[in-house]
């Protein structure tokens, strides 16, 4: 049974990566939005280094959050529409584990690239090396929370025709703690303050999300399909 479950999870990973490779626009568009939206701020505000440094953490985190929101609607949508999601819920293997695999692929395609693109954006905002590293660390801890929590909203609205607007309303309040601790950690580091508290809080949010979000998402998907 364990071997069968592992095989099912690996097949799920292969399936989602193959589909992503053949439908690049679904995950490329939020990334392009992330880059272009973040670049617009330095262009609009002007070359004042002090202001840019000050607003950089908040801007980059807000744009990352909006990019994550953009990608949420597609997390389960096509599987719902073509009947794959029905088949998935009827799998003999642990449904929450299959859901976790899907969310992991979502993060690897939409969250991880944000972290890798962060140094590029940091240069536009004149962030120094240490602040950029802290920014990347906060994104590394925070973006999986965005995917995991967002999956719950996506699962709850997958059966609705105009669910994307509702996802924002459901999920944005839950994103606020990640945004606050993520952006403040970078600001605190540029001010020379201790950031361990911020980092631990984001890490605890991640631990909580990894533990509970797949179960909540699986339950929400069953409710949406039923």
Residue 84 binds to other proteins (criterion: CB under 8 A)? yes
Contacts of 93 (CB under 8 A, 6+ apart): 4, 5, 8, 9
Residue 81 binds to other proteins (criterion: CB under 8 A)? yes
Residue 12 binds to other proteins (criterion: CB under 8 A)? yes
Residue 18 binds to other proteins (criterion: CB under 8 A)? yes
Residue 89 binds to other proteins (criterion: CB under 8 A)? yes
Residue 48 binds to other proteins (criterion: CB under 8 A)? no
**Short-list 196, 198, 147, 199, CA closest to 174:** 147
Considering only 38-46, 74-82, 145-153, 185-193, which stretch makes contact with other proteins by CB under 8 A? 74-82
Residue 161 binds to other proteins (criterion: CB under 8 A)? no
Residue 93 binds to other proteins (criterion: CB under 8 A)? yes
Residue 145, burial from CB neighbour count under 10 angstroms (0-12, 13-18, 19+)? buried
Q: At closest approach, how far in Å is the CB of 89 from other proteins?
A: 7
User: How is residue 27 written in tokens?
Assistant: 């995950």
Q: How far apart are alpha carbons 128 and 114 in whole angstroms?
A: 18
Site residues for other proteins, window 187-226 (CB under 8 A)?
A: 225-226
Q: At closest approach, how far in Å is the CB of 62 from other proteins?
A: 33
Q: Which of 44, 46, 47, 92 binds other proteins (CB under 8 A)?
A: 92
CA distances to 28, 40, 102, 133, 175 from 224, rounded to whole Å, are 27, 38, 17, 40, 22
Residue 173 binds to other proteins (criterion: CB under 8 A)? no
Q: How far apart are alpha carbons 110 and 29 in whole angstroms?
A: 10
3-state secondary structure of 111: coil
Q: Which of 8, 62, 122, 179 binds other proteins (CB under 8 A)?
A: 8
Contacts of 189 (CB under 8 A, 6+ apart): 130, 131, 134, 195
Considering only 4-12, 116-124, 183-191, 195-203, which stretch makes contact with other proteins by CB under 8 A? 4-12
- The runs of H, that is alpha helices, within 129-226 are 129-157, 163-190, 196-225
Q: Which of 48, 86, 128, 130 binds other proteins (CB under 8 A)?
A: 86
Considering only 43-51, 84-92, 172-180, 195-203, which stretch makes contact with other proteins by CB under 8 A? 84-92
Using CB under 8 A as the criterion, which residues of the chain lie in contact with other proteins when the complex forms? Answer: 4, 7-8, 11-12, 15, 18-19, 22-23, 78, 81-84, 86-94, 98, 225-226
């Amino acid at each position: 049974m364990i071997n069968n479950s592992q095989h099912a999870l690996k097949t799920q990973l292969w399936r989602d990566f193959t589909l992503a490779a053949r439908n690049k626009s679904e995950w490329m568009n939020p990334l392009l939005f992330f880059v272009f939206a973040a670049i617009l701020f330095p262009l609009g505000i002007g070359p004042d280094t002090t202001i840019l440094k000050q607003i950089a953490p908040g801007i980059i985190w807000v744009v990352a959050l909006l990019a994550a929101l953009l990608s949420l609607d597609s997390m389960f949508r096509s599987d719902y529409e073509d009947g794959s999601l029905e088949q998935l819920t009827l799998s003999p293997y642990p449904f929450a584990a299959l859901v976790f695999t899907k969310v992991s692929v979502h993060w690897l395609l939409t969250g991880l690239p944000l972290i890798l693109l962060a140094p590029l954006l940091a240069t536009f905002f004149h962030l120094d090396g240490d602040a950029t590293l802290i920014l990347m660390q906060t994104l590394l801890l925070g973006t999986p929370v965005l995917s995991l929590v967002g999956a719950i909203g996506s699962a709850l609205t997958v059966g609705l025709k105009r669910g994307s607007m509702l996802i924002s309303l459901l999920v944005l309040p839950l994103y606020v703690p990640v945004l606050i601790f993520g952006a403040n950690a970078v600001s605190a580091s540029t001010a020379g303050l201790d950031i361990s508290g911020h980092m631990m809080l984001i890490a605890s949010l991640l631990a909580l999300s990894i533990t509970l979000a797949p179960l909540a998402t699986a339950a929400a998907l069953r409710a949406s399909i039923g």
